[in-house]
Amino acid sequence: MKSLYSSVSLLLSLLVMSSGSEAKSNPFAIAYTSHDDGHPEIYLTDIEGSSKSKVTNFSGGNGYSAWSPDGKRIAFYAKYDERKTWSIHTMNSDGTDRKRLTHADNKWDNSPTWSPDGRQIAFSREYKDTDKNWQQEIWIMNSDGSELTQIKSLKGGGPYFTQDGKIVFHSEFKDKKSEISIADVDGSNIIQLTDNGAEEWHPEVSSDGKQIAFMSDREGNSEIYVMNIDGSNQKRLTNNDVDDWYPSWSPDGSQLMFSSKTDGIRNTYIMNSDGSSVRKIISNGSQAAWLKMHK
């Protein structure tokens, strides 16, 4: 554990302490999931993908990283019971002080997201009910796992907090397709933002609160789209023969990362927010989450 801590600390120090204007213009870090060890683990890298360090070591599998607002902790899910149970965890950004926050057997707890003040975590819970029907719920808890509560009026998953305390999520409808919606954190005032009869998942809000990036299969396969926070001006950004997933905004909103299965493996790409200048930055890595590092 000491060598792991040292290597990650060195990586983070290099990311933050790089000299000159380049460090000030690009003080970013990325957490992502990779199968380099044969099962999912969480790694950190810089914005060029030029160096990496593994921060988890759990054979059940770990993934879907979410940075806390201060950059000190990462929320994620881990899998137990031969992957029948998924639970939400947090850890320090160097991999230490790992804590399991949820313990529901045979439930898939996933997609954690931090509130803007870092005091709460919302997440998705998926499972089959007694009639074998698939259920999708959204739950919220304090960041230490206490006061775990279901937001009962929200049916769906992939929650993401806005800076003004609302939640965007993919909502489930009677035809089992998902649309992007937004609601107050208590589950009131639900507004549907998309209406395509397609599978639309993983909404993420830009730091200025003006746009939502998301994935949709409305035109055949999963591609990355953006829209205004009110659902207007929906635009397709990627156009590939393979599926594109998990968009993540850069801190200044000028770029997006996403995952795509190319060369037979899941890789992470970066592009400008208008879809231009696409390039690969991480091989064998997906579910990437972007953070501006704080001093």
pLDDT digits (tens, 9 = 90+) for 202-238: 999 999 999 999 999 999 899 999 999 999 999 999 9
What contacts 258, CB < 8 A, 6 or more positions away?
Answer: 215, 224, 238, 244, 245, 246, 247, 248, 268, 269, 271
- Distance, CA of 174 to CA of 176 (rounded, Å): 5
Where exactly are the structural domains of the chain? 67-292
Work out the average pLDDT over 171-196: 89
Q: What are the DSSP E strand ranges found in 223-272?
A: 223-228, 235-236, 244-249, 255-262, 265-272
Is the model's pLDDT at 47 over the cut of 90? Answer: no
pLDDT digits (tens, 9 = 90+) for 1-17: 444 444 444 444 444 44
Contact call for residues 75 and 90 (beta carbons, < 8 A): yes
Work out the average pLDDT over 158-171: 96
What is the side-by-side order of every strand in the sheet holding 211-216? 200-205, 211-216, 223-228, 235-236
Residue with tokens 């009131």: 188
* Domain covering 67-292, topology: Neuraminidase (2.120.10)
Strand partners, 100: 89
On whether the pTM is more than 0.85, the answer is yes
